[in-house]
Structure 1
Amino acid sequence: MSSYYADKSYEGPETIVVAMDIGTTHSAVSFTYLCPGSHPQGKMVAHWPGQAHWNGAAKIPSVVSYRNGTAHAYGMDAQKEIEEHADKVAYWFKLHLHPASMLRVSGPRGFEIPPLPLGISIERVYEDLMRYLMENTKRFFGMTTPGGEAIWARLKNTMVIMLATPNGWDIKQQDVLRRASIKASLVTEDTAGQFLQFLTEAEASVHYALANQSFDWLKKGTVFAVIDCGGSTVDTTVYRCTSAKPLKLEETCPSECVQAGGIFVDREVKKMLKNRLQGTPFGDPEVIRIMTRAFERELKPSFDGVKAEYDLIFSSIRENDAQLGIHKGRLTLQRESLTSIFNVVTDQIVNSCLDSLIEQRAKCVVLVGGFAESPYVRHALWKVLNHMGIDLVTVGDYAKKAAAEGAIISYIKQAVVARVVKATFGGCVREKYNKQLHSARKHTVQIYADGKRRVDGAFHAWIKKGTILQGAIAYQLPYHLAWDINTPMDEIKKSLGTTQIEVFAWEGDNVPIWCKDERGHLMQGMRPVFTLTADLSALAGGLHQTNGFRGKRCYRVNYLVCVYFGGTQLRATLRWQEKGGTCESAIKVISDVS
């Protein structure tokens, strides 16, 4: 069982924090019990049903099997059913959530994603697995914490849940996890905004790496990168050390995320075996599955590309076929056939991170993640980085899930104090006409109820891409609604009842002027994030006439959009004034912004 101890005592409110890393091939959970006056300790859940309790046993397969539409088995128990009932098993399901931008880089031949069981949605799979992970975390907490069952019962409704996600995921993927977390009873609809947090796998991994290795070279001003080689994605994040004691880090540029993890090697090896053994007794799909599993377990973690030939042990010593290169249950594979498969993936990793490392002048790369277990991957990266004068450091405890443990360590230490915003976020507004900015739409100008000339579909930037967030920032943006003095009150009340502001993200490096074209359609590249909605109809009875531009009389309502950027979160709340005080909209939306 892995443990991390903080060097300072905790003085905040009593709580439990649970961190989940649901990976493509394996999942893991860590937790900490924060008790005032004690030194926080991070622990990995190390006992899972159907799995031997040796070597920490901190990882379980990310697999769920179903019978008659109901989850039947999980982890190791479910993995055993893949070979006979693959159509009833959800595995590699994380790939279903990868955005199109990541799927496009899965290699020249594309990548086939295993289908989900009939009638089972991706949200349902996450819900079932989250519930299973939490049930076993509760059991393990009770086993390893004095008075654990009573503590868990007392704090379960205020528990903080952290979910580690790839750098390339954003609000769409987080929304699926959020809904699954609510259905799995990890949080409620009302508490999700407060107690559900998202953390990138890369950031979690850097905390894991720094807590489990001695980095004497890490001094103030040092620029280094963390490359997290996972099952389906490889994330690269570059940091600058702003303080060594206490340790504080900031991101120097937006992270990179490429779909080039270990499962792509597995899939290509399976194709190679099918082509080689086709038309022979060993070409049976069942035999191919056994060989592929043997490769995943034994040969992939040990392949180094040094020898001319490698043996894949897949059966008993009675299996022999000299023509196929099978001797005593061992299939001989040539180095060239394996290196060509590995190179497709390692080339993508190098291409994804090289520019950032050069531009930011990184001194060192810290390599973490299960796929980093491969000696060939480590050597391929070392060869390129060494040529550039960049050191490569590995964190070699691959029995663990770096992101799961690192997430808890990050919560305890809060070392990463600055992050880079990945896109420009802002609202779609009716902007006051500016002839320099809006001349292209001069013909669309309308006189608004307050007497000012305005244009629709303008983009009001809240925070710009590339902004470095030092801790958290919050500010209030003033907006207003206005109506002509002759507008019927029923119409005003109806309009107030559906007050809303649309929020968008722009991935480009510039700040656009428009978010919608003249017909009200989204501009190319503008991505919807969420819509803030509030019912302000109660304000209709207290409306007063006011003077607008050049003395034009109108009705006007002022409100605020309160924006919070902190960690990986964007929160926006619509706030207004009533006679009884300040009120907020019930909808608070959270997005991954950095």
Structure 2
Amino acid sequence: MTVRKIYSGPRALVLGIDVGTTYSGLSYSILEPGGVPVIRPITRFPGQQDVGGDSKVPTAILYDKYGIVRSEGADTILPTSLEKADDEGWERAQWSVTYTYTTASKPSQVNFFRFKLHLRPAANGPDLPPLPHRKTATSVFADFLQYLFECAKTFIIDSNGADLWASLQHNIRFVLTHPNGWEGKQQSQMRDAAIVAGLIPNSEAGHDRLRFVTEGEASLHFCIQNGLDNSTIDSGGGVVIVDAGGGTIDISSYRVVKKYNGHKEYEEIAPPQCLFQGSIYVTQRAHEYLEVVLRDSKYADDIDSMAQIFDTSAKLTFRGGSDEFAFIKFGAARDQDPAHNIRNGQLKIPGSDVQEFFEPSITAVANAVKEQCVSALGKSTISSVFVVGGFAANDYFFSELKARLQPHIGLNVTRPDAHLNKAVADGAVSFHIDHHVSVRVARFTYGVKCSEAYNPSNNEHFTRASTRYVGVSGETLVPGRFSAILKKGTQVAETKEFSETYIRRSDDPAALDRFSTELYLYRGRGESPQWFDVEPELYEVACRIEADTSRAIAKYPLLLRLRPGVTVPPAAVNVYEVNFRVVLSLGLTELKAQIAWTENGKEIK
């Protein structure tokens, strides 16, 4: 464990919020000048049945037919809430498994809906069912953030007193976590949700109170405080952090680059990955299996409840033997169907079949870790793997991952001796306090769309000859060029900038008074993407950059120096141009894009 520094900043409260696909967590720290910060979890939520509380709460909301929140978190699975939901037609925003319960009169069901994954990039992940009527992913996210914030407020007041809350409520720093594969668009939606939820005001000062951190980096911070210590890592050996959650599994690699006064500084050494192979997909595959096995039985209507029982019991206790059996106890002793392996109200599933439920997730993670090892070559040799998150607590998942990575490629696979389900929330607070990562790796290639002078001897141009056009300056241009500014895999220090220079021309000077362009990211595996018509589905708008460039050009016509043989069209003799740079930086964990140009001899951004 590293030594945390004495805090010297202004008095404040840091609240780390991890909205997970199935469960969510909160952690906080009260920052007192001259004191050493301590990170504490929120362990009490309304409706929890455990007397001592729990550091996680179901990511769930019940809406009535008018879109009004009726129940949230642990309250949503109480029998009274479920009965009202069934009777009054409430809709549930959660992971899409049907929850079955029994009242005195009848068994009933309430459908679950995902909502966190609706924020994901459009190109990623599985198909999703619709959200409750008239709800967007941002609005549901806002409702749940508001609920979590009220839970945190109540817990902190109960634990520390109302006076402390009153003194800090206007100086709260929020850290929201998100999967490795999410970018600026998703962060923008989360920021909007935080504003709607009342966490921060919609102002520059309010925005400054909110930070984002990937689940992979948050998990690294948790591991640093909970056992990420060995001689190999301390001497610069690489470590892979696997955050195995309910929906996504986030994989990131780091190495120590500096050590001073007990503090360690890390750099990312491979592009982080995000897999849609979390524990819910094991349950989903079990559900698909049950649909096939029981489709012609009298218990076909019980499949949803069986899948739920598998999720909360058999999946957790399975140890992995092919001669082992998993049992789903769903009924009473009178429920008998030997032809379908149902005896005394329980279904028996062969261990070899249960292994198949886990296999895609285990294989995907093992392969991703191996890819991290290859990507890190030249920077560090990876020697250790730390597995955290709720799925990491599953013994079969962990033991299989260890068996495939430790003896074959020599990786030391471990999991911290701590509460794994609060790793990301704790790590989010540590990210704000300890700031262990100074260099990150670009996950994608970023660039802009532009045109370039047509050259018939260039085969790429020649094949696109039908798209060429004559620009305002008289040059023949070919459009659709992807100009990369920051390439995937590039290590980026927090203060480092990447830029490319471009020219925009027009025969109307007023058209150059304002400038905007779209910044694109490329999600493919190509090392040097160049044209938008190649793998067009893998390009995505990351953000739009806008600027007032009215003072960036002279207010008189510029006659361009044209290449020999180029004729200026009569209508475009007077051509104006503005030179500008598109500047990118990653800052902490947010992409920052700017336009830079010259005004009166000085560069302006």
- What is the TM-score when the length of structure 1 is the normalising length? 0.81
- The residue aligned with 2:105 is none
Task: Give the one of 199, 203, 206 matched to 2:220.
Answer: 206
Task: Give the one of 306, 317, 325 matched to 1:302.
Answer: 317
Q: What letter matches 2:398 in structure 1?
A: R
Q: Within 1, Cα distance between the matches of 2:123 and 2:356?
A: 25
Aligned positions of 1:270-289 closer than 5 A: 270-277=287-294, 282-285=299-302, 288-289=303-304
Q: What letter matches 1:74 in structure 2?
A: E
Q: Within 1, Cα distance between the matches of 2:400 and 2:424?
A: 23
Asked whether 1:136 is paired with 2:151, we answer yes
1:529–1:328 distance in 2 versus 1, CA, 3 Å: same
Q: Assess if the C-alpha contact under 8 Å between 1:28 and 1:58 holds in 2.
A: yes
Structure 1 window deviating more from structure 2 (198-207 vs 335-344): it is 335-344
Q: CA deviation at 1:82?
A: 6.0
1:417–1:163 distance in 2 versus 1, CA, 3 Å: same
1:524–1:21 distance in 2 versus 1, CA, 3 Å: closer
Q: Deviations over 1:447-486 (max 9, x none)?
A: 655x9887655444322221111233236766555554xx
Q: CA RMSD in A?
A: 3.7
SS of the residue 1:567 aligns to: coil
Q: Deviations over 1:177-206 (max 9, x none)?
A: 232222222234433653332221111112
1:321–1:179 distance in 2 versus 1, CA, 3 Å: same
Q: Within 1, Cα distance between the matches of 2:375 and 2:487?
A: 20
SS of the residue 2:528 aligns to: coil
Q: Assess if the C-alpha contact under 8 Å between 1:418 and 1:468 holds in 2.
A: yes
Asked whether 1:379 is paired with 2:373, we answer no
Q: Assess if the C-alpha contact under 8 Å between 2:326 and 2:354 holds in 1.
A: no
Asked whether 1:463 is paired with 2:483, we answer no
Q: CA deviation at 1:126?
A: 0.7
Q: Assess if the C-alpha contact under 8 Å between 1:87 and 1:116 holds in 2.
A: no
1:54–1:496 distance in 2 versus 1, CA, 3 Å: farther
Task: Give the one of 243, 246, 253 matched to 1:238.
Answer: 253
Q: Assess if the C-alpha contact under 8 Å between 1:543 and 1:556 holds in 2.
A: no
- The residue aligned with 1:23 is 20
SS of the residue 1:549 aligns to: coil
- The residue aligned with 1:592 is none
1:539–1:148 distance in 2 versus 1, CA, 3 Å: same
Q: CA deviation at 1:354?
A: 2.7
- The residue aligned with 1:69 is 67
Q: Within 2, Cα distance between the matches of 1:358 and 1:539?
A: 46
Asked whether 1:182 is paired with 2:195, we answer yes
- The residue aligned with 2:101 is none
Q: What letter matches 2:356 in structure 1?
A: S
Task: Give the one of 88, 91, 108 matched to 1:88.
Answer: 91
Structure 1 window deviating more from structure 2 (165-174 vs 569-578): it is 569-578
- The residue aligned with 2:168 is 152
Q: Assess if the C-alpha contact under 8 Å between 1:63 and 1:74 holds in 2.
A: yes
Q: What letter matches 1:243 in structure 2?
A: K
Structure 1 window deviating more from structure 2 (306-315 vs 239-248): it is 306-315
Asked whether 1:564 is paired with 2:567, we answer no
Q: CA deviation at 1:174?
A: 2.9
Q: Assess if the C-alpha contact under 8 Å between 1:241 and 1:247 holds in 2.
A: yes
Q: CA deviation at 1:167?
A: 1.6
1:57–1:169 distance in 2 versus 1, CA, 3 Å: same
1:170–1:255 distance in 2 versus 1, CA, 3 Å: same
Q: Deviations over 1:345-366 (max 9, x none)?
A: 3223223333333564421211
1:267–1:87 distance in 2 versus 1, CA, 3 Å: farther
Q: Deviations over 1:232-291 (max 9, x none)?
A: 221222222223553222222112222111111222323444554556664433xx4443
- The residue aligned with 2:103 is none
Q: Deviations over 1:428-449 (max 9, x none)?
A: 3455778987982697475655
Q: CA deviation at 1:516?
A: 7.3
Q: Within 2, Cα distance between the matches of 1:502 and 1:115?
A: 29
Aligned positions of 1:387-406 closer than 5 A: 387-398=408-419, 400-406=421-427
Task: Give the one of 75, 94, 118 matched to 2:133.
Answer: 118
1:456–1:289 distance in 2 versus 1, CA, 3 Å: closer
Q: Within 2, Cα distance between the matches of 1:474 and 1:14?
A: 32
Alignment length (residue pairs): 554
Q: What letter matches 1:168 in structure 2?
A: G
1:162–1:60 distance in 2 versus 1, CA, 3 Å: same
SS of the residue 1:242 aligns to: strand
Asked whether 1:59 is paired with 2:56, we answer yes
Q: Assess if the C-alpha contact under 8 Å between 1:228 and 1:368 holds in 2.
A: yes
Task: Give the one of 388, 411, 421 matched to 2:432.
Answer: 411
Q: Assess if the C-alpha contact under 8 Å between 1:19 and 1:30 holds in 2.
A: yes
Asked whether 1:197 is paired with 2:211, we answer yes
Flag structure 2 segments of 5+ consecutive residues without an equivalent: 96-113, 564-572
Q: What letter matches 2:401 in structure 1?
A: L
1:501–1:303 distance in 2 versus 1, CA, 3 Å: same
The percentage of aligned residue pairs carrying the same residue is: 27
Q: Assess if the C-alpha contact under 8 Å between 1:167 and 1:202 holds in 2.
A: yes
Q: CA deviation at 1:554?
A: 5.4
SS of the residue 2:174 aligns to: strand
- The residue aligned with 1:12 is 9
Q: Assess if the C-alpha contact under 8 Å between 1:481 and 1:558 holds in 2.
A: yes
- The residue aligned with 1:173 is 186
Q: What letter matches 2:447 in structure 1?
A: G
Structure 1 window deviating more from structure 2 (473-482 vs 170-179): it is 473-482
Q: What letter matches 1:571 in structure 2?
A: K
Q: What letter matches 1:428 in structure 2?
A: K
Q: Assess if the C-alpha contact under 8 Å between 1:478 and 1:559 holds in 2.
A: yes
Q: Assess if the C-alpha contact under 8 Å between 2:184 and 2:590 holds in 1.
A: no
1:437–1:274 distance in 2 versus 1, CA, 3 Å: closer
Q: Deviations over 1:289-314 (max 9, x none)?
A: 44333322222222112462344344
1:202–1:432 distance in 2 versus 1, CA, 3 Å: same
Q: What letter matches 2:221 in structure 1?
A: H
- The residue aligned with 1:225 is 240
Q: Within 2, Cα distance between the matches of 1:463 and 1:186?
A: 33
Task: Give the one of 504, 512, 521 matched to 2:520.
Answer: 504
Q: Assess if the C-alpha contact under 8 Å between 1:58 and 1:399 holds in 2.
A: no
Q: CA deviation at 1:523?
A: 5.4
1:271–1:55 distance in 2 versus 1, CA, 3 Å: farther
Asked whether 1:428 is paired with 2:460, we answer no
- The residue aligned with 2:279 is 262
Q: Deviations over 1:72-108 (max 9, x none)?
A: 111111134568649710112223334455436xxxx
Q: Within 1, Cα distance between the matches of 2:424 and 2:347?
A: 35
- The residue aligned with 2:351 is 335
